[in-house]
Structure 1
Amino acid sequence: MSDRSRPRRPRTRRRRLPLRYLLPSLLLVAVMVMLMLRGYVHSEILADHRVRPEAGTRHVPDKILDGGPVIDTRGGRESSHSVDRHNLVLTFDDGPDPEWTPKVLDVLKKHHAHAVFFVTGTMASRHPGLVRRMVAEGHEVGLHTFNHPDLSYQSTKRIDWELSQSQLALEGAAGVRTSLFRPPYSSFADAMDDASWPVTKYIGSRGYITVVNNTDSEDWKRPGVDEIIRRATPHDGKGAIVLMHDSGGNRAQTVAALDRFLPTLQGDGYKFRNLTEALGTPSAHTPVSGLELWKGRAWVYAVQASENITSVMVAGLAVIGVLVMGRFGLMLLLSALHARRVRRRDFAWGPPVTEPVTVLVPAYNEAKCIENTVRSLMASEHPVEVIVIDDGSTDGTARIVENLRLPNVRVVRQHNAGKPAALNRGLANARYDLVVMMDGDTVFEPATVRELVQPFGDPRVGAVAGNAKVGNRDSLIGAWQHIEYVMGFNLDRRMYDVLRCMPTIPGAVGAFRRSALEPFGGMSDDTLAEDTDVTMALHRAGWRVVYAEKARAWTEAPESVQQLWSQRYRWSYGTMQAIWKHRRAVIERGPSGRFGRVGLPLVSLFMVLAPLLAPLIDVFLLYGVVFGPTEKTVVAWLGVLAIQAVCAAYAFRLDKERMTHLISLPLQQILYRQLMYVVLLQSWITALTGGRLRWQKLRRTGALGSAPGGLPQQRAASVTGDDRRPVA
């Protein structure tokens, strides 16, 4: 059979992960890796602060107990060495410290003295520049483990890790290896006991010389400069290895004592040398190159990156802390002022508004919901005409409305063109100047339209935002959105109302003067958030936009994470588009400038930046629980949650909602923040990469029935839907 006659196998197309999903995923993984690395280097989990009490010395050779402070057990040897007369080896433990080590180095350089710095791997990894300076200025560097544990408690595997990880840091920082080692919590040679001696022998088998001391300044106790000098000074011209510290606390006394100690003893004929100089042996440093050098550098670079990223995240945490506290403070204060104003007996927007109103209902495949929506409007206490704009539905939405044969209800059909086009089509067919806009899945209470249009009694008002409520709140996701609507959206609207910079008229329940919309052509399709776009345009045109909290509408919120993601992704991206579109308001004068310099910054901070940074609260909670300090971290997180709970309870009280749904607030705050973070991050990446986002039709259940002045009744329905929607 020829190749041409053979049946071809169908090609399977590999599905590539879209860039807008790939980049957030990679960024999240990179951030988590950096945080884990930072926690690894700073870890309190890896640290072991146990210190073994003194033990017997039956197995320690007498020549070690009676010998010098330099103990060599390499190659099976058991020998010790001392420093010759008038030679002093200054040793500094626990560094390098970014504050005190440079001052110690400056004093040594000033008096032309050398020393040995026993560094910990964690500090050398975090401050490699100081290690490079030590080596460059002729000092010797030794290892003091990575995390400073008492090695007598550790396994040989842990000891090997402490040594190898410290050497890796030293190689990356200064390009050298060292053969010098000082055990943490060590003292004089005669303090060697049956617990520490096996460790010393094992250290020698790994190629290291153990260095203790025979003169202890006890500077860590901060006994005063004179006392440090007295304790560090050997007697009768003897040579000595002097123990000091350049880290682990305030070392101001050490630096001051060193500045007097060096010239005094130099005047007495002492020389301050490296250990190998004092012993007359080859340098303890061995240069590294090739793979070992690059492995060390990669480690140091990674640690530096983790430190820098963490510093940025800490700054971000400080920013979100200020934003959260500022927002909560503003919401509580201004919401209280708003509630006080609307509850005054003499409060009125102006003369009562009784004129008929046009209600526009854009509908695309809303067969599950449209009957409930239209019937709720027919129960309105205010005279209305209803125009249902069928935007190319394929499920018989228009036919359902027509078959109802309700008075003052019209159906306008058009090819699928998107929500803004549908609303503009409705505006062109509206009979009245006051126009209410709602979604096809929303139901109104009888008083909703009346309450919504009363602010138009003030001729300065161009648009009114209603109070959108979540009707399907029985599920966990629904309950979370219920909290968000009451605590976030509605409390925010009260705040923005007082500040006169309401950023969004919700698509579920809003009202406009048609004459206010006509100058800029009605609803625009420039953004995916046409409601935010038109609201900002009204502000810039000088119209007031207010909030009518009694104008309640019940909407069907997304019932799955995927649907919620799609909705919030569109909202977030559309809001960013609207902010960018109206950015020139910042430099303009008059009403536009006022909105640009008050409204746009608040929207940018509270609706874009704050949600993007808010997950840092939970990231640092997780980091603090794993790496410490656990108690302080948990207390701080609970404090933030308590403030949120107070705001939520106040918002529920204002909206006359039951408090029982707040039980899920802690879980909502943790999980919701992460979802909103990823959604916003994806929106940013879509914007920066020039991506295009489609309108995405949410699946509806038709679970909302009529709402006669209260929570809508619910009926069972199957979940269906159509995801087709035109590109915006």
Structure 2
Amino acid sequence: MARRASNRHAAGVLGRTNESATAQSPTMVLFVLLGVLGIVAYGSFLLNPANRGDLLPWLLVIGAESVLVLTALLSMWTILAGAQDPRDYAYHRAKELLFDGRFIRQAALEQDPTRWPLRVAGEPVDVDVFITTYGEDLAVIRRTVQAAVGMHGRHRTYVLDDGLSDDVRRIARASGAHYFRRPSRDHAKAGNVNAALARTTGQFFVILDADFVASERFLVETLPFFSRRTVAFVQTPQAYGNLTNFISRGAAYMQTVFYKLIQPGRNRFNAAFCVGTNVMFRRSAIEDIGGMYTKSASEDVWTSLELHERGWRSVFLPEILAIGDAPETIAAYAKQQLRWATGGFEILLTHNPFGFRRRLTLDQRLQYFATATHYLTGIATALLLLVPPLEIFLDLRPMTLGITPLTWALYYAGFYGLQIGLAFYAVGSFRIETLLLSACSFPIYLKAISNVITGRKTTWSVTGAKGKSSSPFNYIVPQMLTFLFLALTSVVGVWRDMDNGVFTLASAWNITNSLIIALFIGFAAREHAQMKREARVARRLTRVPTAPVDHVSPVPALALQQDDRMAGVA
């Protein structure tokens, strides 16, 4: 029941994407315009020579805020492009002709939509559905496979098992799916998909991660776009049904603005990119670029980039057609963000979108530049953490003494307050989890850019895997050291202010930073305690015999089928 309630919650939050697919509301446009005004006012304040303080902290503030301002402007430009509904007349006409009603009646297939032949542009087509697995929980895999097999439209479902599990093989066969196991795990997920493409023949193929349960209407809603022969892939949003703890909620809501506003806006520029799951590809397009990109752990965005450079088109359909699992632990979140950030920095440093050799439109260059620089915002956070200690220990200030804390706060709020307001409007409420995760993820992004600069490879990891648990404290050593430094700095700052009889902005700023990281460490401690409790329970259950996997009662294929919004009803 908790899982089903979570699925409905995901539908309620991200499913509203559909409601605004055709145009931006006047309120959203107003927020964006006010946000731009706030950026201009804040930028003018910082760059005014009369306001400049000591050089080092001023440069830190200018560098960090420049990254944040540029990211905000690029995002707002994309949002103002409008969430134009990609479902035009050609799409609806192709959808009407997707099934041959006369043949279905003659073959007596009315009661089995999974066997209805699919047609695109009047021609029969074959569709393959690839479910990539690598050690995920068996119950998770089972419900994903069952849902994929049950999708409307004739298709073949393949479980691509890099986990080499006989239990997964039995699940696939019991569910009516094919099972593939390759001899090596070269190139991780991209290599897994490429190996399957070499053994299948469908003109179109779907990629689903092992934890994403697809709607029965997934093929019906995505395939009609391919009536346009230049469309390489159709991407749908990632939505999550496991919003049960601090990490999963924070990680899920961090992506809401992206899927609700950014990706739809990128349709206008032919720059929406693949996110690795819940996506349908045209086989000939992938063959045109030599297969899924294998030189990066972020194969999704790199494959999109190569397709766009070859002149192919992409479509983002703002309709939730699958629900999956967000990372539930700090370890899973850190690995996910490290992989995504590394992919972005790889594009920035090794394949600059503005390079002369890039075969992209100006709009596409801007959008891929925004993607490549997005995670610099996390590094900007680290730079801003250094500003208060410089004043507390060295009496170095970014702004002149003539600038009062109230003046600074007004300009600062004009920028950040409006950004938070925009996110608040998009998400529907303020999420403290997202704020804490964003503020405390800077070590991940510093490691990502370091990996790219030094050429260190980032391994591919599974978000939903339930393998050996690892203490969250193994992943937050930099945050704990930062907290110790900031806590000591706060003590020094308060002591200094008591001597001077004035409570300074630097001390308030530093204390706030300390509290934010302290809250994050507190959540890590709670997760660590929960993991220890679960380990004790698991040890007690090791002596209890379990039923063979073939005899486990099937899991309901798709909780979201009970919600029209999640069933993909046009």
**TM-score scaled by structure 2?**
0.61
Amino acid at match of 2:418: I
Q: C-alpha offsets along residues 282-310 of structure 1, whole Å, 9 cap, x if unaligned?
A: xxxxxxxxxxxxxxxxxxxxxxxx94431
Unaligned runs of 5+ in 2: 1-48, 99-117, 120-125, 398-402, 468-554, 565-570
Instruction: Report what 2:369 is aligned to.
Output: 601
Match of 1:516 among 285, 289, 303: 285
1:525 aligns with 2:291: no
Q: C-alpha offsets along residues 42-70 of structure 1, whole Å, 9 cap, x if unaligned?
A: xxxxxxxxxxxxxxxxxxxxxxxxxxxxx
How far is 1:541 from its partner? 0.7
Match of 1:706 among 544, 552, 558: 558
1:644 aligns with 2:419: yes
CA 1:603–1:576: 2 relative to 1, 3 Å: same
Amino acid at match of 1:423: V
Instruction: Report what 1:678 is aligned to.
Output: 443
Larger strand percent: 1
SS at match of 1:480: helix
SS at match of 1:566: helix
1:338 aligns with 2:105: no
Q: Distance in 2 between matches of 1:704 and 1:663?
A: 33
Q: Which stretch shows the higher mean deviation, 634-643 or 352-361?
A: 634-643
1:696 aligns with 2:465: no
How far is 1:683 from its partner? 0.9
SS at match of 2:69: helix
User: In the alignment, is the contact (CA less than 8 A) between 1:420 and 1:524 conserved in 2?
Assistant: yes
1:388 aligns with 2:159: yes
Amino acid at match of 2:314: V
Q: Distance in 1 between matches of 2:556 and 2:437?
A: 24
1:326-725 to 2 correspondences below 5 Å: 326-334=73-81, 337-339=82-84, 341-342=85-86, 348=91, 351-352=94-95, 353=98, 354-355=118-119, 356-366=126-136, 367-394=138-165, 396-404=167-175, 406=176, 409-417=177-185, 418-502=188-272, 504-583=273-352, 586-588=355-357, 591-592=359-360, 594=362, 597-605=365-373, 607-614=374-381, 629-652=404-427, 659=428, 662-665=429-432, 667-669=433-435, 671-700=436-465, 706-709=558-561
How far is 1:486 from its partner? 1.4
CA 1:325–1:412: 2 relative to 1, 3 Å: closer
How far is 1:701 from its partner? 5.4
Amino acid at match of 1:587: F
SS at match of 2:434: helix
Between 1 and 2, higher relative CO (CA 8 Å, sep ≥ 6) is seen in: 2
User: In the alignment, is the contact (CA less than 8 A) between 2:326 and 2:463 conserved in 1?
Assistant: no
How far is 1:466 from its partner? 1.0
SS at match of 1:358: strand
SS at match of 2:238: strand
SS at match of 1:414: coil
CA 1:460–1:621: 2 relative to 1, 3 Å: farther
Q: Distance in 1 between matches of 2:388 and 2:150?
A: 50
How far is 1:574 from its partner? 2.3
Q: Distance in 2 between matches of 1:348 and 1:456?
A: 8
1:315 aligns with 2:315: no
Q: Distance in 1 between matches of 2:341 and 2:562?
A: 30
Q: C-alpha offsets along residues 408-449 of structure 1, whole Å, 9 cap, x if unaligned?
A: x21111234121111012212333211111111111122223
**TM-score scaled by structure 1?**
0.48
Q: C-alpha offsets along residues 143-188 of structure 1, whole Å, 9 cap, x if unaligned?
A: xxxxxxxxxxxxxxxxxxxxxxxxxxxxxxxxxxxxxxxxxxxxxx
User: In the alignment, is the contact (CA less than 8 A) between 1:463 and 1:545 conserved in 2?
Assistant: yes
Q: Distance in 2 between matches of 1:619 and 1:711?
A: 48
How far is 1:709 from its partner? 3.4
Q: C-alpha offsets along residues 176-232 of structure 1, whole Å, 9 cap, x if unaligned?
A: xxxxxxxxxxxxxxxxxxxxxxxxxxxxxxxxxxxxxxxxxxxxxxxxxxxxxxxxx
Aligned-pair Cα RMSD in Å: 3.5
CA 1:708–1:664: 2 relative to 1, 3 Å: closer
**Structure 1 vs Structure 2: percent identity of aligned residues?**
21
Structure number with greater Rg is 1
Larger helix percent: 2
1:172-251 to 2 correspondences below 5 Å: none
Q: C-alpha offsets along residues 306-328 of structure 1, whole Å, 9 cap, x if unaligned?
A: 94431221212441342244134
CA 1:361–1:639: 2 relative to 1, 3 Å: same
User: In the alignment, is the contact (CA less than 8 A) between 1:452 and 1:511 conserved in 2?
Assistant: yes
Q: How many residue pairs align between the two structures?
A: 390
User: In the alignment, is the contact (CA less than 8 A) between 1:470 and 1:481 conserved in 2?
Assistant: no
How far is 1:640 from its partner? 3.9
How far is 1:465 from its partner? 1.2
CA 1:615–1:428: 2 relative to 1, 3 Å: same
Q: Distance in 2 between matches of 1:314 and 1:326?
A: 18
Q: Distance in 2 between matches of 1:603 and 1:645?
A: 20
Q: Distance in 1 between matches of 2:466 and 2:353?
A: 42
How far is 1:363 from its partner? 1.1
Q: Distance in 2 between matches of 1:587 and 1:349?
A: 39
User: In the alignment, is the contact (CA less than 8 A) between 1:527 and 1:578 conserved in 2?
Assistant: no
User: In the alignment, is the contact (CA less than 8 A) between 1:501 and 1:545 conserved in 2?
Assistant: yes
Q: C-alpha offsets along residues 630-678 of structure 1, whole Å, 9 cap, x if unaligned?
A: 44455445444442344334434xxxxxx3xx2324x522x22233322
User: In the alignment, is the contact (CA less than 8 A) between 2:293 and 2:303 conserved in 1?
Assistant: yes
Q: C-alpha offsets along residues 586-639 of structure 1, whole Å, 9 cap, x if unaligned?
A: 3137x546576334323233x243343255567769999999954445544544
User: In the alignment, is the contact (CA less than 8 A) between 2:211 and 2:464 conserved in 1?
Assistant: no
CA 1:460–1:518: 2 relative to 1, 3 Å: same
How far is 1:374 from its partner? 0.9
Amino acid at match of 1:539: H
How far is 1:711 from its partner? 7.2
CA 1:610–1:361: 2 relative to 1, 3 Å: same
User: In the alignment, is the contact (CA less than 8 A) between 1:439 and 1:508 conserved in 2?
Assistant: yes
Q: C-alpha offsets along residues 260-282 of structure 1, whole Å, 9 cap, x if unaligned?
A: xxxxxxxxxxxxxxxxxxxxxxx
SS at match of 1:663: coil
CA 1:620–1:309: 2 relative to 1, 3 Å: closer
CA 1:391–1:319: 2 relative to 1, 3 Å: same
Amino acid at match of 1:677: F
Amino acid at match of 1:313: L
CA 1:373–1:508: 2 relative to 1, 3 Å: same
User: In the alignment, is the contact (CA less than 8 A) between 2:237 and 2:318 conserved in 1?
Assistant: yes
How far is 1:384 from its partner? 2.2
Q: Distance in 1 between matches of 2:334 and 2:131?
A: 24
Instruction: Report what 1:267 is aligned to.
Output: none
Amino acid at match of 2:178: R
Amino acid at match of 2:461: Q
